[in-house]
Amino acid sequence: MASDAFLYRTVATELRDRIKRGIYRPGQKVPTESELVREFRVSGITVRRAIRDLVLEGQVQGRRGAGVFVCERRRVVRSLGGDFRASLGDEIRRAGEEPGIRELACELVEAPDEVARRLRLRPGTRVYRHEKLVLAGDEAVGIDVAYLPRRLGDRVKTGLAREFVFPLLLAAGVAIPSIDFTVEGDTLSDPESRLLGLPVGSPALVVNYTPLDTHGRALMTGRSVARADRFTYTFRLAR
C-alpha cells in the first residue's frame, strides 16, 4: 500500500479537482472526514492532511461545529521557498483564476538609495524600473515594482509586460540559486488603493525580494504589495 505521504496527496488532488470542476461549489460543505475515509479507504490522519493542504491553499475553510466548506473566493497561496520556477501566475491559476499583468511603467531611472544599496551600485546609477498591476481574472490583486541593473534589463525588458519576473529570468538563462525575502504587514497608500480599488488604509502584505547569484550578489530587487484578503504566503524550513 502507498505511504500516507502519497495517499494524502492523492486525496487532496481529487478534492481540488472536484472544486475546480464545480462538483463542490463555493459555499458548499464538503463530505465529512468519516465519509472521505470510507470513500478513499484511507485513515482519518490522511484525510486531515489533505484537508489541511486545501485550507492552506485557501480553497476550503473549517467552521467550528459545522464542517469544512468551499471558500466563496479562493485565496492565492504563494510559497516563498522551494521551486522558483513556480511563478505567481501559476499560483493564481491554481486558485482557479486566470492570471494577468497590466504594465504601468518601464523606464530608466536613477536608483533610489535603498535600491542602490541592495544592488551595490553607486548613487545615481541608472536602472530599469518596471511597475505592473497583477490581475486575478479581471480583478487587481497586487502591485509589483522591480528594479533591474541596466545590462540585465536590456536582456529581459520586452518580456516584463507579459511574464512574471522569476520565470522570465530563468528562461533567459539567469541562474537563481537563492532569493532573500522580507514580508511585512502594511496598509495601502492612496495611490496603491486607487490601483487596487480599495479604501485607503486597507490591509496589505508587502514582500521585498532580492534574487542572488551563486556568489551571493543581488541580480535585481523588487517590492510587491498584495491585497491581504486575497493572498497567503507560506514558508517551508528544512533542517
- Counting other chains too, the contacts that 206-210 makes at CB distance below 8 Å and 24 or more residues apart are 207/80, 207/181, 207/182, 207/183, 207/233, 208/181, 208/182, 209/179, 209/180, 209/181, 210/118, 210/179, 210/180
Least confident of 24-28, 62-66, 120-124, 161-165: 62-66
Residue 1: pLDDT over 60 = no
For 24-68, write each residue's pLDDT tens digit: 988 899 999 999 999 999 999 999 999 988 887 778 888 888 899
What value does the mean pLDDT take over residues 89-100?
Answer: 87
Provide the mean pLDDT of the chain: 89
Domains and CATH numbers, the chain: 4-70 (1.10.10.10), 76-234 (3.40.1410.10)
Query: For position 5, what pLDDT does the model report?
Result: 63
Least confident of 114-123, 131-140, 195-204: 195-204
Query: For position 83, what pLDDT does the model report?
Result: 63
Query: For position 232, what pLDDT does the model report?
Result: 85
